[in-house]
Structure 1
Amino acid sequence: MKHLFVALSCPLAFTACAFFGFDNSYSVTYDTNPQGASIVCGGFHKGYSPYIAYYDKKALEESPYTEPCEAVWFSGAKAKFDNYLGSDMTKYPNGVHITLRRPDVPGLEKDMQFALQVKQLQNQENFQNQQLSIQQQQLSIQQQQLNNQAKGLQQQQKQHEQFMDYMNYGNYLR
């Protein structure tokens, strides 16, 4: 089984960890070649490769083993990730990116086609998320405009009440 340890190349993952308070976590990116394999850790499907898992850094320092994970391609081909991090935590203190090559068994074309479909679905999901974000921004702008209009109407109502009070006071003096 061939695998490659490389420093995690996605600074966005580190930013997200820091932003959400995962500073005590250690990221392990489970990747495959070809991508799109199901990542199964501890017997549960976690997602499709590449998949980023976050582990408690202190627990890994005590015992540098992650939960057992394997890649299962569409064709049924399987391969296990090495779950021993050892000195990788020292070499790569911000996380590791593990790429597992598909075993040389029949079904590569099926796996390549499935990888393409997964990528297309991910792109579609990203596009939908971008559209949703734009819609949320537009709604926020509209809400702000409505709030500004409401404040303006409240000011007009207050001015009208002051004017009416003034007029009533003027009538009172006559």
Structure 2
Amino acid sequence: MMRSGARLAGLIVTVLASVGCATKYPVTFDSYPQGATLICNGTNWGYTPKTLYYDSEVKQQNYLSLRSCSANWSSGARELYGSVSMQEFPDGVRQTLQRPDVPGFQQDAEFSLKVQQLNVQKRQAQSAQQPVYSQQSVSCKKSFDISGQLYQFAQAYCPPGYYKAL
């Protein structure tokens, strides 16, 4: 049993954060609210949602334990991820954790919005750095806005809080 645990720990240490090829096993760690810090084996992987790619060897196991990974919200709330059935999810999985029912939800929800805004700004900055001929723009409407005002964004998708105008 100890040998199996050591092997699993070794596999988890080999998690790659780069875009994986078909031989890798993708696990997307998510949380509600999003924006929790993902910590696996003491390594900070950034904010949820975050996809990590495991060695293809994990596909030979019945289950993949993700208990060495946790979602850590800005309020201090923390929750551990569970296990993944390799038979039920042979090609990858998305694990979403619900924040524990402890004080600080408002702080975590506000932080989630800040993380989403930073991600939009990052994508917009990356878009601005691309050559003009490769840029696409999209017309979006703001969610829950009944005015019908259109907003133009210099990318092919609408940012969080907006939807594509038809």
TM-score, structure 2 as length reference? 0.64
How far the C-alpha of 1:136 sits from its partner, in A, is 9.5
Worse overlay, 128-137 or 68-77: 128-137
Q: Does 1:99 align with 2:99?
A: no
Match of 2:29 in 1: 30
Q: Which residue is equivalent to 1:76? A: 76
Question: Which residue does 2:131 correspond to in 1?
Answer: 134
Check if 1:51 corresponds to 2:47: no
Greater mean alpha carbon deviation, residues 27-36 or residues 50-59: 50-59
CA distance in 2, matches of 1:79, 1:94: 25
RCO comparison, higher one (Cα < 8 Å, 6+):
1
Aligned counterpart, 2:38: 39
Larger Rg: 1
Partner of 1:10: none
How many angstroms apart in 2 are the aligned matches of 1:66 and 1:23? Answer: 21
RMSD, aligned α-carbons: 2.1
| The one of 97, 117, 120 aligned to 2:117 | 120
1:93 to partner: Cα distance: 2.3
Measured in 2, the distance between the counterparts of 1:79 and 1:69 equals 9
Cα contact 2:75–2:104 (8 A) shared by 1: yes
- The Cα shift of 1:58 comes to 1.6
- Contact 1:79–1:102 under 8 Å retained in 2: yes
CA distance in 2, matches of 1:25, 1:92: 13
Instruction: Name the SS of the counterpart of 2:22 in structure 1.
Output: coil
Q: Report the alpha carbon displacement of residue 63 of structure 1 after superposing the two structures with TM.
A: 6.5
Name the amino acid aligned to 1:32. S
Where 1:23 maps in the other structure, the secondary structure is: coil
Report if aligned partners of 2:74, 2:107 keep a CA contact under 8 Å in 1: yes
CA distance in 2, matches of 1:33, 1:60: 27
Q: Tell me, in whole angstroms, the C-alpha distance in 1 between the residues paired with 2:106 and 2:119.
A: 20
Give the direction of change, closer, same or farther, for the CA distance of 1:63–1:91 in structure 2 (3 Å limit). Answer: closer
SS at match of 2:101: coil
Higher helix share: 1
Question: Does the Cα contact within 8 Å between 1:38 and 1:71 map onto a contact in 2?
Answer: yes
Residue ranges of structure 2 left out of the alignment (5+ in a row): 1-18, 136-166
8 Å Cα contact 1:60-1:66 kept in structure 2: no
CA distance in 1, matches of 2:61, 2:105: 39
